[in-house]
Structure 1
């Protein structure tokens, strides 16, 4: 079986055994030979350079010297026992000291012999010193071997593993043993034509050189090969998924643009569509005519008009005799969609209903009956939509908002509600960098609404330190006097001893003093309130009964209050860029000029400063998302549900964008000529792919 040895349990490797194997699995997730081979070095120590003793300084992370041993002795007793030795070259002496493994080190050191000493330099009483030096007899085969390790790999380890002598050096020995004993068993998994066209080295050599490169060129070639391989198989999986779905899941054909769509577009649409909205609608229209299930991701900044595009697509479904539904992650957001869609459609145009956890039993019964009879055209709701009791007569179109908040199974339940799977439109207001979209959503077609409706004024963003707080309070009072409303967002609910943050409780106290009753009224919302209390407080703000909402980030998604014109974010330096951008999107929804005020401590980290400067400089969500990806890396952009997709061992989505593009293009070329991977030259690929994807289900929306 191809790469069978990759699956071999790690305890079978000589020198591991049951106890070390269990520790490696628990501490680093290394359970097999493949896991060990893919526990790549996080850095390399240059062993090509030999220093003279007089060149040793604390600035150097490591030094390697050739020196002759002059003296050795064991001094001290019990806990203070140590081996002290001295050696010299033509430029002066150096002290060597060992606090562990004393007897073994003493036995191996011979006075008068020359050694290669390697380690972290220090100084004691003004003299250079190396503690626990790696030591090889100079001129021996061992020293030659050590010398050939020009770039020495350093591996992540843990304190627990070090008790099993599995520090970086111990892991290095295991990898070396594995490659020496079984390296020949690493089989190729890419066809010769792909290796040749992308100038990639053999896989077995790549593994050897990524762990034990003799020079930087070998390391570069090995890294290029293994990164390409990882990204190639990721893209192969995603695009094969898409191809499989297109072949297996037929889609309803929306053959006509009829009364509902035309009537809405001509007489009900309250504004001119932007060119980006028109382009997206055209893409959806073409998708729904192909006879295959549409799976499209609609990206657009807060306020870019995604809901109208979704609604017009739904009307297209209704024109063709189908029902539609829209699922949102919270009751507030579902309710908001319901209200705005009802307002856009007007009374008596199509039947629309709202289904959430709060819907009464009586109302549910009517909704269930109307759905099954076909009387109900559009159902908007939360997770309640996926309940087994919710049965449609003919579901043809599904809209999922802020989809990363739903699990794969939850989403899949929705599109099993019809014999022909409905078309899927996934919407997100979190701008996703292109590289991330190609991995997280590589099997979806992507539409982007990259312009705001006419008349929307860009939000002005300002940054203030604590010293500017009185000015900010004055500004809030001016805005409230104009009839506007204000958000004040805090990162914590209660004070933390470890973090010097403005917390919500203290903030509420300060705001209540500065904005007292009866002139001012304040809502308070945070994650520890019950759903009912949260709803009550938010609704007070939505209805304009309170002018200030003091909140944690629970309001990041979902509250639409066109009258709110100021967003104040306390300790803004503690938030990620995409979160700051989401919070800012809560204002700027009306015709009036809106403002976002970022409050921060005087002391800012380099990253904190970049984030705040970026927010002040631009409103472009996609530019912000790219900078966020560079600052934070890909790991946490889209939440835990997606982390499995991004379980990359060696590739980095920020640094390796060209490699990702290259891999994607190669897979696209491959599927044009051999979509089933049945040609003889792709037999290797097919075999490896089948093995990697064993047990995977392709019928997922991701």
Structure 2
């Protein structure tokens, strides 16, 4: 049976209004329009600060008319009416004025008389150095017969005005008018309330029907604040219940227990380790070992700073699974990183890494440590024969550890007994890819997700809530501090020469240098190949005039002619090179033959050259905070102090330089992740982009509402513990289905 919220809009507001709403807002049902909440509320008694109006954005503002004049156009017939409005409200506020122009504005000429207060809706533009509006819609506030309480001047003055996200063709007050009509025709009192009654009573939250009325037609500021509080909590509870339900479903699955065995590879590996694990590595390792030994699948997120030793922790878990007769797969986002993991893991295993050519019977488990483990690399660009052999080793069980890129997800790739999936740099993968790998296991595999991009606690609760979280927050012995400096070339143009002289000093001291560029060639605009990402518009503030960005090809050419680097081997590295070229370049750099490596962000994660001590990031303002933090983690890895230079041609005070200042001010990844989230405006928390723009979270803000999210999480866990399928909470289950459409719910699975 169709509920009130599922009805087509035309059934309640008529065909004509419904068509306008669908055309401009894309909303088709009564529920969709009812949940189209105001962005903010204006008070009739307060004027909007004109100095804070954003350029080139649709705005709704309240202002008082100062003057009204009309002149004839010279070039063509017709007139222009210029209205000057002010936000002058006395007090400490410095008043601003705004010119509002109307072409053939007969109504504006007659109605917008000096002294009148009006609400305007339009796009802010700049003309002759001053802000202005051209042909905006307007509504006189001194005489608004549609307003409830219009007969009572005091009540009218106190009544907040809802401001909705509007379009050029549909004003905020037009949307409000349609929603008011909808409220009058809907049977709100028949709506089932998703919030449990005891929770609403405990927190003093209004019922669902009252909340819809208060949020759209408030009589006082307290009305909309109460309604927002209720819907914000509902949003948090819906999200957290969806995650708690998923966690319960995962816990109910049956996995194959992979218990630690005596005398196996893991014991031998630990005995041969040339260093002592940190306390954090030992603690997380113990947790993983216990969870792998259970017959329910492990689902764990491992966060660790760049260089905190996550790979050793993951490798120990993989060896436990191999000892117990299973296979482990490590999914990496780029071929460079997959190859690095392959080399690094084989090197770390030492004599325990069994050579592929001398593979044994393919029987996993029960082998002595002396038999070792075969580590196999599988990528899309491998020669056909090598790729076929790698796939055969995975399918036969010969390979205990398989490391690869998207090639692991191919229909042609199979495993004999996949027991553990390790996903590196989770933010690079979508849920479909993770699920494609899970489907290759006979029974639900154990899962370990690793990220070197620290995630604020509230984001972890909101997005990774179905995963248990472990954190490695101490660096292993031998990791040197990295000093980071912003190099502003506008205020210090002479520093260009100093950068390359400084690079030579490092090389002459026996060290190596990374130079990172935002694009590959001079003929592209940052159109990166797979695995190389240009920051989104939301990560980058308004960049002003177009500027030529540093490219790998152009920088290599210029450095070959740079006097300070004369005679020093320089090489390029980027994602469009042939795999053999990339491998050879990295091998040359790792062997200290190439001294200066000019690269794109392909070196962002996993590249581990201990002799590299200096990183120069050109046009650093083109990268996001987490990328910059990841990139600088490539230096200072061998006990030698590292230096990172963030080079920018932007003016001091430019919004994009805030990111650079933040990165230079701290090496604390969690502190940076908080700042990153603030600068990116949280973004689409439930969308794969994770990078700014419009958020699917309506009222919930993960940084501001941490306590509320934690409370909702606790409530959700109790609800699911009592009723795992939510059979007795149909309204809450329906709200989850409605709020988390299949695409968003899949994203919550993404661990």
**Same fold by TM (over 0.5)?**
yes
- TM class by smaller structure: 0.7 to 0.9
Deviates more, 1:533-542 or 1:280-289: 533-542
Structure 1 length as normaliser, TM-score?
0.84
Q: 1:45 aligns with which of 35, 42, 48?
A: 42
* Structure 2: stretches of 5+ with no match in the other structure: 54-60, 85-98, 122-132, 355-371, 526-543
Aligned equivalents of 1:158, 1:337: Cα separation in 2: 49
Once the 2 structures are TM-superposed, how far is the Cα of residue 41 of structure 1 from its aligned partner? 2.1
Query: Which of 656, 678, 685 is the aligned partner of 2:705?
Result: 656
2:509 pairs with one of 482, 487, 508: 482
Number of aligned residues: 667
Asked if 1 retains the 8 angstrom alpha-carbon contact of 2:430 and 2:750, the reply is no
Could you tell me which of 618, 625, 632 is aligned with 2:680?
632
Provide closer, same or farther for how the CA distance between residues 387 and 672 of structure 1 changes in structure 2, counting only shifts above 3 A.
same
In 2, distance between residues paired with 1:298 and 1:62? Answer: 50
Displacement of 1:99:
4.4
Cα offset, 1:337, TM superposition:
0.9
DSSP 3-state at the match of 1:612: helix
Pairing of 1:295-374 with structure 2 (within 5 A):
295-347=299-351, 348=354, 349-374=372-397
Query: Quick one: distance in 2 between partners of 1:63 and 1:102?
Result: 18
Match of 1:470 in 2: 497
Which residue, out of 173, 198, 202, partners 1:197?
202
Contact 2:43 2:157 in 1 (8 A): no
Which secondary structure does the structure 2 equivalent of 1:321 belong to?
Answer: coil
* C-alpha RMSD of the superposition: 4.0
Conserved 8 A contact 1:47-1:151 = yes
Q: Which residue of 2 aligns with 1:126?
A: none
Q: Which residue of 2 aligns with 1:455?
A: 478
Taking a change above 3 Å as real, the CA distance of residues 582 and 138 of structure 1, as seen in their structure-2 partners, is closer
**Is this contact kept in 1: 2:331–2:423, CA < 8 A?**
yes
The Cα offsets for residues 383-408 of structure 1, whole Å up to 9 and x where unpaired, read as 11222332222221111111222221
- Identify the residue that residue 732 of structure 2 maps to in structure 1: 685
**Which structure has the highest helix share of the two?**
1
The correspondence of residues 6-405 of structure 1 with structure 2, limited to 5 A, is 6-9=6-9, 13-14=13-14, 16-17=16-17, 19-24=19-24, 28-48=25-45, 62-63=62-63, 79-80=78-79, 99=102, 117-119=117-119, 134-135=139-140, 143-144=150-151, 147=156, 150-159=159-168, 162=169, 166-182=170-186, 184=188, 186-247=191-252, 249-347=253-351, 348=354, 349-405=372-428
Is the CA contact 1:431–1:622 (under 8 Å) kept in the aligned structure 2? yes
Deviations along 1:383-440, one digit per CA (max 9) or x if unpaired, are 1122233222222111111122222122112222222121111111111111111122
CA distance in 2, matches of 1:463, 1:363: 45
1:106-146, CA deviations, whole angstroms, 9 ceiling, x for partnerless residues?
9999x9xx99742469xxxxxxx999753367596853389
**Does the C-alpha gap of structure 1 residues 183 and 335 become closer, same or farther in structure 2, counting only changes over 3 Å?**
same
TM-score w.r.t. the length of structure 2 is 0.79
| Deviation string, structure 1 residues 131-179 (Cα, Å, up to 9, x no partner) | 97533675968533892672112222233xx2xxx22222221222222
The CA distance in 1 between the partners of 2:737 and 2:300, in whole Å, is 27
Partners of 2:187 and 2:654 in 1: how far apart?
Answer: 44
Task: After TM superposition, list the pairs within 5 Å mapping 1:417-436 onto structure 2.
Answer: 417-436=440-459
Q: In the alignment, is the contact (CA less than 8 A) between 2:9 and 2:18 conserved in 1?
A: no
Q: Deviations over 1:51-79 (max 9, x none)?
A: 9xxxx9999962469x9xxxx99996952
Residue by residue over 1:436-470, the C-alpha shift from the partner in whole angstroms, topping out at 9 and shown as x without a partner, is: 11122111111111111012111121222222333
Q: Partner of 2:399: helix, strand, or coil?
A: coil
**The one of 422, 433, 453 aligned to 1:410:** 433
Please give the per-residue CA displacement for 1:275-308, whole angstroms capped at 9, x wherever unaligned: 1111111221221233111111111111111111
Partner-residue secondary structure (3-state), 2:328: strand
CA distance in 1, matches of 2:622, 2:654: 12
Contact 1:115 1:135 in 2 (8 A): no
Q: Does 1:541 align with 2:564?
A: no
- State the 1:674 CA deviation: 3.1
Name structure 1 gaps, 5 residues minimum: 86-95, 122-128
Aligned partners of 2:575, 2:388: CA distance in 1, in Å?
31
